[in-house]
Structure 1
Amino acid sequence: MPGLVSSLRRHGPTVFGLVLLVGALYVVQREFRDLSVADIRRAMAALPVSALWLAGGLTVAAYMVLAVYDKLGSAYAGRPVSWPKSLLASFCGYSLAHNLGFAAVSGAAVRYRLYSAWGLTPLEIAKVVGFTSLTFGLGGMALGGLVLVVEPEVLPWFGSHLPHWALQLLALPLWGIVGTYVVLSRFKRHVRILKYEIDLPSPRMALAQTMLATVDVAVTAAIFYALLPEAEGLTFLRFVGIYLAAYAVGIAATVPGGLGVFDGAILLGLQPYMPAPEVIGALLVFRLYYYIVPLFIAGGLFVSFELGQRRAVLQRLSAFGQGTDALEVPAIASLVALAGALLIFLGALPTRDTIVEEWAGHIVALASHFAASVVGSLLLVMAYGLLRRLTMAWALTLVLLVNGAGIAWVRGEAWWLWGPFLLLGLLVAALRTAFYRDSRLAREPLSPQALVPLLAVAACGITLALVAYGGKVADESWWTVVVSPLAPDSLRFTVGITGILLLFAMVRLLRPARFRPLAWGAETRARLASLGALAPAEADGAVLGEAERAGFAFLKRDGVWLALGDPAGDRRDAISAIWRFRDLCERAGVDPAFWRVGPDLLRVYGDIGLTAVSLGEGPLYLALRAERDLATLRELLPREG
């Protein structure tokens, strides 16, 4: 039973997110079945100019409201910062976290970097992060309760099968949580929830939090609502309920930007009110306004800030030339995942009057249609490999992006659909040195463990190509063939097993080479001492790099494994040792942390999502997931004030 609980804790959220993503893809596929890009283009062209300007103004207002989050948060921490700094921290933190969702550039990690440069202590920053994280939840619950009271039928299925009074009662626990938070702030200063201790603000600030977050959610939903055409029965409050439900599902899926999941939920929620092309047109503009444009602006601001913190820019670029910038690779991986999602959606659109159909016939057109969903699915897997800095993922991503551009072109799509694939390919190619790790296939001998997935990839690719070229799947994507009642059972089984095996085998090939940490003992101590690493009398194990020319000892703590110092030895092998430790911790379901590390490898620690906190002992730091593990490792930090 403990093993089952541990396994659920480690893999449960991922499995749940995948289930939501698959369900969302099915919804999107079903809605796209009778659409074309031209339908969506016409819907976007029909958007009134006044609606575009209104949505743009509301987007600015939404990010200004988010800036107040950080302003109040710094005041709550006892170290208020100026409005320009609050705006910068909030805008960079939220826009990067909204789109990327990876630990290295999460909103919390970005805030730690910015606020630490402005002189706030780790505990003060933790208070700001906790305040901003809690604030949004309060607004969602307060506004969600209002929607349930006024528009209870907005809940799908439940709204038509349960009495309204029963649905309205669901508002009580939501409002109860908000009310309890405000009341507790009047009588208590500290509360403990699970293993976290929370310092409550004053009652006045707690009320301000709730009101501010409610306004934030309403304004963000209004951006989308302004882009929708008028629809009978779709009041703003009812749309807020649909938006909140879709946003919550997107967060639960842990997909960057809720990509696919949020979109599928919105399509499903608005289905009774308007045609799919109008929803998709508004959805694309909403993502452009609230996600994509702020992402590029915030990325530029954050990179400028990072460069401004260093005097010798050229020296920094030389010292960290092996791909140790913590922002670029997660951003590129997110864009690759977005490109994969775009191909999947293109694969859901029927083939009508495409170039390839005129040149090579209907069967080849169907093959290109089927290929879009396969290549898109593989690009989603490549994003996983890029985040782990794998050379093999870099090379395969280039090939798949060129394929994606070719598929979009032969389908007759506009240049602004296939051009970005080539542009993204150029960006990926320019970051060649950022991918410096060998995958299992390149590092290990060609054992049965590596040969089986390699053969599976080849066999599955050939099988899917034959199925597509045979024209047996009509206007279907590979996963919809599996659930299509029109396809023969044998074809459904073949395509389903083949598609799953292909993706699973690619993930297996992209996984880093497996290893076991060294058991602690006299031999291990002597080996680390020969490398110049710290070798204490007691430790829980040691990790060496792939070439075994660098290593360090580590200790196991509750939820965190703590490495003792930088890896000593060869620099390149030290980088591989850091990544090995990160992979080891991921398999164990714990967070990595590094104690008493110097400045030379700080950007590598940033690559794996860690934040460096000064220990006050010269240029020595504690690198950790500060947003999660500060309380656990607090005793290692210098006492404040």
Structure 2
Amino acid sequence: MSPRLAWLRRNGPAVFGVVLLVAAIFVVQREFRTLSVAEIRTAMAALPASALWKAAGFTVLAYLVLAVYDKLGSIYAGRPVSWPKSFLASFCGYSLAHNLGFAAVSGAAVRYRLYSAWGLTPLEIAKVVGFTSLTYGLGGMALGGLVLVFEPEVVPWFGTHLPHWALQAMALPLWGIVLTYVVLSRFKRHVRLFGHEIDLPEPRMALMQTGLATVDVAITAAIFYILLPQAEGLTFLRFVGIYLAAYTAGIAAHVPGGLGVFDGAVLLGLQPYMPAPEVIGALLVFRLYYYIIPLFISGTLFVGFELGQRRNVLQRVTALGRGSETLEVPAIASLVALAGALLIFLGALPTKGTIIEEWAGHAAALASHFAASVVGSLLLVMAYGLLRRLTIAWGFSLFLLLNGAVIGWVRGEAWWLWGAFLLLAGLVASLRAAFYRDSRLVREPLSPEAVVPLTAVAACGITLALVAYGGRVSETAWWGVVFSELAPDSLRFTVGLTGVLLLVGMVRLLRPARFAPLAWDAATRSRIAALGGLAPREADGAVFGEGERAGFAFLRREGVWLALGDPAGERKDAISAIWRFRDLCERAGVDAAFWRVGPAYLRVYADIGLHAVPLREREGETPRYLALRAERDLESLRPLLPPEMRRAAEELERSRAA
């Protein structure tokens, strides 16, 4: 594969997500430009009580349908669990994944923690995760084909530029995929797709899976549809098409809860049918019902489950699902990103009548308006740094959150809004010990790679501040100036360039320095052996920490690089080596895994999104684990598992084939 294709394969989804997010921000900012908070409140107050109750009922029904996903998944894996357990795993997995979005707190991580505590093996859990992941896609394709057949004009741009028969023909490949899945389940039980072996369910279960997914998508769309006012031409099926397109865009952008992308797509799709305030009012209630309330309930249930597990010390767990111990950092990072998105949206609202305008005049109000979008943009970058456990990102996040609280207060926003920023700042401050990595800025303060972006950040920050407080911007966010035809070309260019340089510079400062692994030669082998690490005769390379006082050897395998044991050497540098290996694998587009590791660094392996599967040791020996992305790499690394676990998996597969 050429370097360009390899780069595109690794970074294509992320670039596509950024493009979607930028487009969504532009759409939302354009719609918000002429709105006021009062108009949105009026639209929300006009929602009838009957619609609110019906939407709440459909929300409960939607999560009950999702519980059937997990029930069928456990049956498919050959280890059926009870309905209460299916509901707990489904509710916690989906609600946390819907809101937090990052891979470390995905539905797979939550399910591994729960199902491992209930005695399922990692292979069985991987089957449940794969089954539930596939189910939504089947429903989306089935309903999407239905929309294309009966409401083809709902497709943006194509609906008005292509004949109906051409759009209706697009339903054939969607239905063809679903039909192929069902038919294959009748005649072939094992298929290989994208290098992965997939066990298909029996035909009856495949049909149930497709039907259930279709019902789930329709019910979820109905929650939103009920909250919208009556609009001529907006049938439920047409709205389902808009909802599916928006939801798919939100997933593709990899943004927590599809925030901004889903909202922008919905605003764009419903623009011909009703005013923006009515859409936004319904959108806020939909998010409250389907995202926010379930998040708090599932978080409480999950914490209760964890407390119960830790009290029951005698319970034997087949696989260590350490994801729960690391939920706090990805959750906080997601909340920081959501806070940034909220400030960006505030930066798109008018400043008329705010406290700061009354106290300090219109120019100061415009400056606060401009500052909201700048601070919000920087908070999105800080979430990136928090996920990498960078100390500097922790400090910047605290500073920016306090700024966000002040901006909300001087703009006259409700007390609970700016109070939420203060509460989040308190939560971030309480997790200081969780952020233990040095960034490029701290590790290499005098290197050109650190000085150049640092200088750019300082210069851009000063430039944007001068533009804002000089009162030379219209009532819009900083990126809105770039698209404003009223602003002078020189100002548009200056603001656009400095804004982009500011964000790019911050990202570069929050990235660890690039490095290359050492070749596995006699000298490297001697260094690893001297530290007390595993130094086999054959290996593909070695990774050392930033201080070069800890390291380990590793092997390259297709799709996964396997480190041979815990890093040997000084503990702090060992943690640095683990993260460097993770960063190295991310750049190479592969997963990281660690073989025969001890309990000392399990927390760090969980921090980088790995699950620890125990390896059988002799009595009295220190327990050892295989740390890996179990939902993706368990099959390829299965030969490293204990013989009894391999035999159990093979017997399960033979029984299914029979």
TM-score (norm 2): 0.94
Other-structure match for 1:75: 75
Q: Which residue is equivalent to 1:318?
A: none
What does the per-residue CA deviation read over 1:369-405, in whole Å, with 9 as the maximum and x for residues that have no partner? Answer: 1111100000000000000011100000011011111
Matched, 1:632 2:636: yes
Residues 427-479 of structure 1: CA deviation (Å, up to 9, x unaligned): 10111111111111111141222111111111101100111112222112111
Letter of the 2:98 partner, please give it.
H
Counterpart-to-counterpart distance in 1, 2:200 and 2:324 = 38
Corresponding residue of 1:620: 624
Amino acid at match of 1:622: L
1:111 maps to a residue whose letter is R
Task: Give yes or no for contact 1:113–1:611 (8 Å, CA) kept in 2.
Answer: no
Secondary structure at 2:600 match in 1:
coil
Query: Which residue of the partner structure matches residue 111 of structure 2?
Result: 111
Match runs of 1:421-432 below 5 Å: 421-432=421-432
Q: Could you tell me how far apart the structure 1 residues matched to 2:46 and 2:137 are?
A: 35
* Map of 1:591 onto structure 2: 591
How far apart, CA to CA, are the structure 2 residues paired with 1:30 and 1:119?
52
Instruction: Give aligned pairs, total.
Output: 632
Shift of 1:496: 0.8
Tell me by how many angstroms 1:350 deviates: 1.3
Q: For 1:606-627, what per-residue CA distance to the aligned partner results, in whole angstroms no more than 9, with x for missing partners?
A: 1111111223336221111112
Equivalent residue, structure 2, for 1:181: 181
Distance in structure 2 (CA, Å) of the matches to 1:377 and 1:309: 39
Whole-angstrom CA distance in 2 between matches of 1:534 and 1:490: 60
SS class of match (2:592):
strand
Give the AA of the match of 2:567.
Answer: P
AA matched with 1:552: F
Contact 2:519-2:542 within 8 A present in 1 as well: yes
Answer yes or no: is the 8 Å Cα contact 2:363–2:469 preserved in 1.
yes
Where do 1:549-564 residues align within 5 Å? Answer: 549-564=549-564
Report 1:495-574 matches (<5 A).
495-574=495-574
SS at match of 2:326: coil
Partner SS, residue 471 of structure 1: coil
- Superposed, which structure 2 residues align to 1:183-332 within 5 Å? 183-311=183-311, 325-332=325-332
Which range is displaced more, 82-91 or 624-633? 624-633
Aligned to 2:320: none
**What's the secondary structure of 1:309's corresponding residue?**
helix
The whole-number CA distance in structure 2 between the counterparts of 1:73 and 1:602 is 28
Q: CA deviation at 1:633?
A: 1.6
User: Could you say which residue in structure 2 is the equivalent of 1:21?
Assistant: 21
Residue identity in the other structure for 1:640:
R
Deviations 1:122-163 (A, max 9, x none): 221111111111111111111111111121111122222222
Aligned residue number for residue 442 of structure 1 = 442
Give the aligned residue type for 1:144: G
Letter paired with 2:572: R
Alignment-derived partner of residue 168 in structure 1:
168
1:210-253 per-position Cα deviation (integer Å, ceiling 9, x unaligned): 11001100111111111111111111111111100101111111
Counterpart of 2:78 in 1: which secondary structure? coil
- Give, in whole Å, the separation in 2 of the partners of 1:33 and 1:387: 33
Compared with structure 1, are the counterparts of its residues 116 and 312 closer, same or farther at alpha carbon in structure 2 (3 Å cutoff)?
closer
Q: Is contact 1:390-1:436 (8 Å) kept?
A: yes
Aligned-partner residue type, residue 634 of structure 1: R
Letter in 2 for 1:346: L
Alpha-carbon distance in 1 for matches of 2:6, 2:124: 32
Mean alpha-carbon deviation: is it higher for 507-516 or for 140-149?
Answer: 507-516
SS of the aligned residue for 1:596 comes to strand
3-state SS of paired residue (2:325): coil
| Contact 1:324 1:603 survives alignment (8 Å) | no
What is the distance in 2 between the residues matched to 1:23 and 1:558? 36
Q: In structure 1, what is the equivalent of residue 487 of structure 2?
A: 487
Q: Distance in 1 between matches of 2:119 and 2:376?
A: 44
Aligned residue runs from structure 1 range 107-186, under 5 A: 107-186=107-186
Q: Take 1:550 and 1:55, find their aligned partners in 2: how far apart are those partners?
A: 56
SS in 1 for 2:353: coil
Whether contact under 8 Å (2:110, 2:324) holds in the other structure is no
1:546, 1:447 → 2: CA distance? 15
Query: Which stretch shifts more, 257-266 or 583-592?
Result: 583-592
CA distance in 1, matches of 2:444, 2:611: 32
* Amino acid paired to 1:637: L
Distance (whole Å) between structure 2 residues aligned to residue 289 and residue 200 of structure 1? 34
State the distance in 2 between where 1:7 and 1:444 align.
26
Residue 652 of structure 2: aligned partner: none
Describe how 1:1-12 pairs up with structure 2 within 5 A.
Answer: 2-12=2-12
SS at match of 1:119: coil
1:334 alignment counterpart:
334
1:366 paired residue number: 366
**Equivalents in 1 of 2:532, 2:438: separation in Å?**
25
The alignment-based identity, stated in percent, is: 82
- Check conservation: 1:519, 1:541, Cα contact below 8 A: yes
Give the aligned CA root-mean-square deviation in angstroms: 1.6
Indicate conservation of the 8 Å contact 1:325/1:604, yes or no.
no
8 Å CA contact retained: 1:25, 1:261: yes
In structure 1, what residue type is equivalent to 2:2? Answer: P
> How far off is 1:553 after superposition?
1.1
AA of the residue aligned to 1:201: P
Q: TM-score if structure 1 supplies the norm length?
A: 0.96
Query: SS in structure 2 opposite 1:592?
Result: strand
TM superposition shift of 1:550: 2.4
Q: Distance in 1 between matches of 2:71 and 2:405?
A: 44
Secondary structure class of the residue paired with 2:551: strand
**In structure 2, the residue corresponding to 1:61 is in which secondary structure?**
helix
Closer, same or farther in 2 for the Cα pair 1:445/1:33, shift >3 Å?
closer
1:150 and 1:629 mapped to 2: Cα distance? Answer: 41
Letter in 2 for 1:484: S
Distance 1:285-1:477 versus aligned 2 partners, 3 A rule: same
Deviation at 1:521, TM superposition (A): 1.9
> Would you say the 8 A contact 2:562–2:593 is kept in 1?
yes
| Contact kept in structure 2, 1:144 and 1:244, CA below 8 Å | yes
Most deviating of 571-580 and 447-456:
571-580
SS of the equivalent of 2:594 reads: strand
Contact residue 59 and residue 220 of structure 2 kept, 8 A: yes
Structure 1 partner of 2:384: 384
Moved over 6 A (4+): none
CA shift for structure 1 position 361: 0.9
Counterparts of 1:574 and 1:542 in 2: how far apart (Å)? 13
